[in-house]
Amino acid sequence: MSAFVRYTLARLGFFVVAFVVIGGLSTIWLEWNAVTGLWVALISLVISAIAALIFLRGMRDEVALSLKARSDKMHERFEAARSAEDVD
C-alpha cells in the first residue's frame, strides 16, 4: 500500500474516532439534529487535523518524499522527451 493511501486512511481514522467521541459526548447534553451534527463534524475535523499534525509527522514526511521522487521521475521523462524533440 502506498504511503499516500496509508496517510489518508490514518487521517480518516483520526476523524472517525474524533467524530464518535465528540458525538457521544454531545448526545449527553444536546439533542441530536442536523445542526448538532454539523458542529460535531466541524469540531472533529479540527481535532483530527491537530492530532494528525502531531502524531503523523513521520507518515507525512514519507508521503512528501514519495511525491518528490515521483515528481523528479516525471520531470526527467519530460526533459528526455523534450531533448529528443530538439535533436532535429
For residues 53-66, average pLDDT: 94
Q: Is the pLDDT of residue 50 over 80?
A: yes
Q: Which domain covers residue 20, as residue numbers? A: 3-85
Q: Has residue 87 got a pLDDT over 70?
A: no
> In the predicted model, what is the mean pLDDT of residues 18-39?
89
70: left (phi over 0), alpha (psi -120 to 50) or beta: alpha
**pLDDT exceeds cutoff 90 at 47:** yes
pLDDT computed for residue 86 by the predictor? 62
60 vs 87, more confident: 60
| Model confidence, pTM | 0.78
47 grid coordinates: 481535532
Ordered alpha helix ranges (H), 30-56 = 34-55
Residue 63 confidence (pLDDT): 93
Total domain count, the chain: 1
Quote the CA–CA distance of 10 and 72 in Å, as a whole number: 26
